[in-house]
A and B are shown apart, each in its own frame.
Chain A
Amino acid sequence: MTLRDSATRIGRAGMVVTWVALAGLAAVYVRALEYTPVEVNQGAAQKIFYVHVPAAWSALLAISITGLLSMLYLWLKDRRIDLAAAASAEVGVAFATVMLTTGPIWGKPIWGTWWTWDARLTSTLFLFLLFVGYLVMRGVLVDPGVRGRLSAVIGIMGLILVPFIHLTVYMFRTLHPAPIVLKPSAPSLPPVMLVTLMSSLGVFTLLYIGFMMQRYALGLLHEAREEELAHAS
């Protein structure tokens, strides 16, 4: 199958997934705003939590997949794997942006300042900047072979960096609410809020998949066009 054919099929499928996910997102918003109780300490602002946390999750998922695909690329050397890794990185940057903007919006009414140098926001900021650097570097490299190899190196290093950044977070004194969900013991959210959160997580994962497929399809199209231009001259 040619690159263009693959791109069309995957792009169409991705669009379907995205629309389903967006519908799910609307449903989650309704549930979060109307049917989930208001948190007693933080008030209505706390509801950003249902977007902020899943965005962070999707960003992390995206970065991990970029890392794994990078390893696969160095092994199999298939340029489509490189295109997929780059697509995931771009989607990850988008979700990280959502997390980094909802964080301050949530923080301002609670703590009185827009940006708190709290550890979890800061570590996401650094991972965000790393992957922006990854995309900038891809932008200046012309040859797909060099671009793929150097991107794969950053992708793998970035993946291994994630746990270190999170460990640094845990050990640094922080303002961030103590981890409610990902504690070793049972999550301490009341069930009704937990369901909203889990639904949102599911929707955001689906959103990641949809965006990723569409961005990958676009990458395949770019690649096809570059080849056609090169052979024309």
Chain B
Amino acid sequence: MRALVRAAWHIALKDIAIEWRTKTAFASGLVFAVLVLAVLFFSRDPTAVSSQDIAPGALWVTFTFAAMLGLNRAFLLEREMRALDGILLTPVPKAAIFWGKFGANLVFVGTIEAISLPLFVLFYDVPIWIQLGELVLVIAMATIAFVAVGTLLSAMAVRTRYAELMLPLLLLPFLVPPLVGGVQLTARLLEGRPLSDLGGWLRLIGAFDVAFVTLAALLFPVVLDE
């Protein structure tokens, strides 16, 4: 068990080090997030739709789409010189590769979210301070959901010739529960509703997290098998 955690840790660190050095996926993800936020703001009739009304949806669309851009990066970097084969030749269990990639992806997506959030507040003029802590919790829970499924599916997509197409195609249906839940919870929290009122949606996302993180970890070795 400790060997698995240690291996996952090293794999995650390696991914983060590589991304830190090249910054390509991160920069693209960030620029994309800002663009989506801005475009969604301007693609409405301001006399009919207030920015606060579309804010929750805009935020979550931005998060999920920027995440999808970044998720393919995790396995594309393994394919350049077939480094993944190098990992598979070590005694490291395949599950450690999942947890390492999952961790690195969470850091990657989380960082983009952390930078997008202040811009979101700036563009959409939302009262984020009302329940900032609760909002961060909701964002974290939903992010875990789509990063877990996204990590598994990007490992699959990269084995086909059409990775950039296959990942969104396969991933979007799985985004529905955390996305809808995220939008609903964000909207209510920004209205000032307390978290205790919103137990239903929280439990839904929580259950989704448990189910799909487990499932993704269990099924990951199957995807890597040859």
Contacts and interface: CB of A to CB of B under 8 A. Distances in A.
A167 B177 contact: yes
A154 to B, nearest CB: 7
Contacts of B161: 140
Nearest to B183: A172
Interface in B121-166: 149, 152, 156, 159-162, 166
A146 B159 contact: yes
B192 interface: no
A74 B218 CA distance: 12
A167 B172 CA distance: 17
Interface residues of B, number: 31
Given A137-B166, A171-B201, A164 B222 contact: no
A188 interface: no
Contacts of A123: 176
B38 interface: no
B176 to A, nearest CB: 5
B219 A165 contact: no
B35 interface: no
Contacts of B169: 129, 133, 136
Contacts of A152: 222
A164 B173 CA distance: 11
Contacts, number: 82
Nearest to B160: A140
Interface in B186-208: 200-201, 204, 207-208
B103 interface: no
Given A153-B152, A168-B177, A133 B170 contact: yes
Most buried by A among B166, B173, B226: B173
A97 B173 CA distance: 16
B176 A133 contact: no
B174 A157 contact: yes
B66 to A, nearest CB: 21
Contacts of A141: 159-160
Chain A interface residue number, banded: 20 to 34
A133 B162 CA distance: 12
A149 B184 CA distance: 36
A140 B201 contact: no
A150 B97 CA distance: 18
Nearest to A125: B173
B225 interface: yes
B177 A150 contact: no
A150 B156 contact: yes
**Smallest CB-CB A-B distances: 9 pairs:** A130-B173, A126-B173, A133-B169, A164-B177, A133-B170, A168-B177, A153-B219, A140-B160, A168-B180
9 contacts: A133-B169, A141-B159, A141-B160, A149-B222, A153-B222, A157-B212, A161-B174, A164-B208, A172-B184
Interface of B: 149, 152, 156, 159-162, 166, 169-170, 172-174, 176-177, 180-181, 184, 200-201, 204, 207-208, 211-212, 215, 219, 222-223, 225-226
